[in-house]
Structure 1
Amino acid sequence: MDQSRDGATTGPKAPLPAETVSLPARGFTIDRGKALAAAGVLWAIWALMIWLVTQGRTEGFDHSGLLLYRAGIELQPMGGNMLQEAVRDITALGGVLLSTFSACAAIVALLFLRMRREATLFALTVLLGWGLNAAMKLLVGRERPTLVPHLTEAAGYSFPSGHSFASAMIYIGMALAFASLSSRHTVRYTLIGSAMVISIMIAWSRVMLGVHFPSDVIAGWSGGAAWAFTAAALLYEPAKRAADSAAAHGLDPLEHR
């Protein structure tokens, strides 16, 4: 029971009918000029890291980063079991299972919000990004570090870090997609900034676990973030055309209510 201002009690209010609920304003586009500028800086960092690694100029930096969290003759991790578990939890967010699940859930959510353009753009970003990451690994073919004991299983080439690339690409790409819900710059910057912080934490967790050199994760993260911004700018028009197609309308879950 609800109580009015004069003290009288009233019955419970009837629920708002579903057909009167309005979705939030949406469809705002990001500034593609700013996205390309950010991508340019990040691609430059990525290219610099490739040059430094292939020229053998990162050895001191890489070894210092790997030893930063290790102590003793056997180079065991510092911080105790709780810190190790926390680091493993963080790194799991960038693994194939959770990152793919997050990406699929985001696409479904965007479709239910009637944001087919953003859903299509995000899906293209992830699918093409996975191929780009695989090509980048073959480009250098660096083996994983053996300086410190590994605290988790890892296979494949080390450079660039796949966890770092995927987490930056997926979480920043996801933030860019949902940023279209608001025209306020503070909201957009908060979403994108939070995604960048989370993906950086995932990237650095790979160094703490001993399965990647610091240069691996810097290259992986900068490449993944650069691709997320590049795709948001350059794939916008193709995604828009695809989202407006008859096939996309047929996949819209709200078109069949």
Structure 2
Amino acid sequence: MKTTFGKVEPNVLIAWAVVAGGLLGFVACMQIAGHTIPPAFDSRILLALRVAGQPDQPLGPFWLPSAVRDITSLGSTIVLMLAMLSVVAYLLLIRRGASAVFVFVAIVSGQMLASLLKYGVGRPRPEIVSHLVAVHTPSFPSGHAMVSAVTYLTLGALAAHFLPHRLAKVYVMGLALLTTLLVGLSRLYLGVHWPSDVLGGWCAGFAWAMLCWLAARWLQEKGRKDA
């Protein structure tokens, strides 16, 4: 984790900053989720995505709700687990066992943590607008937002590690970030989460992904020293 000058590398400092910021943001969102009455900004954002005076009518052309449902499926448990297992299988085929274990542990543990947080907080789903998809679990944090952050950032960081050019690395990580943001925003449009649920999911997901990355980096450095 250190350069030849004995200083911590900038990417490690950034990762720790993301962890700290994510944890602080999550705690703040969790405090909001504990309120009996949602704060004004939560309600205003959801209502802004509906036709004025018609909470059952989403904004946009007739095809937009269907398109948003397609986007939100990118953060579903089935899609994320299939993506994870596909990458793990590929890494095992090319004899990258350590990377395969890292991907599996990071993503599965993130999924488990999201479920524990959901049932631990137990926040009800918003009822001020209609739900455009069926939901059956508590609201906080958004599992789609959190686990998509963990999955896409983890896979993006892994792919970037093997890419030779800096621009390609930036593109891959940017794509992972964009997908994560779109999935979270789709949950708001569909009316199944409060904005603070999605923000809390992003905060927890980013923090968890960065913690896993730092742990993997530390183990890699430790292995080199012990070799």
**When the two structures are superposed, what TM-score results if normalisation uses the length of structure 1?**
0.75
Output the CA distance in 2 between the equivalents of 1:180 and 1:233.
Answer: 14
Aligned to 2:83, which of 81, 97, 102?
102
Output the CA distance in 2 between the equivalents of 1:96 and 1:154.
Answer: 13
Amino acid at match of 2:14: K
Report whether the alignment pairs 1:64 with 2:64.
Answer: no
Q: 1:183: how far off?
A: 5.2
Is the 2:25–2:203 Cα contact (8 Å) retained in structure 1? Answer: yes
Task: State how 1:16-27 maps to structure 2 within 5 Å.
Answer: none
- The residue number in structure 2 matching 1:44 is 24
Output the CA distance in 1 between the equivalents of 2:124 and 2:195.
Answer: 13
**Secondary structure of the residue that 1:81 maps to in structure 2?**
coil
Stretches (4+) displaced over 6 A: 239-242
Structure 1 residues 148 and 239: CA distance shift in structure 2, 3 A:
farther
Aligned to 1:221, which of 202, 215, 221?
202
Q: Which has the higher helix share?
A: 2
Amino acid at match of 1:49: C
Report whether the alignment pairs 1:115 with 2:96.
Answer: yes
Task: State how 1:1-257 maps to structure 2 within 5 Å.
Answer: 31-55=11-35, 59-75=39-55, 76-182=57-163, 184-237=165-218
Is the 2:32–2:39 Cα contact (8 Å) retained in structure 1? Answer: no
Structure 1 residues 193 and 167: CA distance shift in structure 2, 3 A:
same
After the TM superposition, which of the residue ranges 231-240 and 95-104 deviates more from structure 2? 231-240
**Secondary structure of the residue that 1:154 maps to in structure 2?**
coil
Structure 1 residues 115 and 35: CA distance shift in structure 2, 3 A:
farther
Per-residue deviation, residues 157-188 of structure 1 (Å, max 9, x unmatched):
00001111111110111111111103544332
Output the CA distance in 1 between the equivalents of 2:93 and 2:11.
Answer: 24
Equivalences, count = 213
Percent identity between the aligned chains? 29
Output the CA distance in 1 between the equivalents of 2:16 and 2:32.
Answer: 24
Output the CA distance in 2 between the equivalents of 1:52 and 1:78.
Answer: 26
Amino acid at match of 2:46: L
Q: 1:58: how far off?
A: 5.1
Output the CA distance in 2 between the equivalents of 1:58 and 1:44.
Answer: 20
Per-residue deviation, residues 59-85 of structure 1 (Å, max 9, x unmatched):
211111111120144321111221111
Structure 2: tracts of 5 or more residues without a match: 1-9
Amino acid at match of 1:137: K
Is the 1:149–1:210 Cα contact (8 Å) retained in structure 2? Answer: yes
**Secondary structure of the residue that 1:80 maps to in structure 2?**
coil
Output the CA distance in 1 between the equivalents of 2:11 and 2:96.
Answer: 18
Structure 1 residues 92 and 63: CA distance shift in structure 2, 3 A:
same
Is the 1:39–1:226 Cα contact (8 Å) retained in structure 2? Answer: yes
Output the CA distance in 1 between the equivalents of 2:164 and 2:24.
Answer: 29
Is the 1:171–1:199 Cα contact (8 Å) retained in structure 2? Answer: yes
Larger radius of gyration: 1
Structure 1: tracts of 5 or more residues without a match: 1-29, 243-257
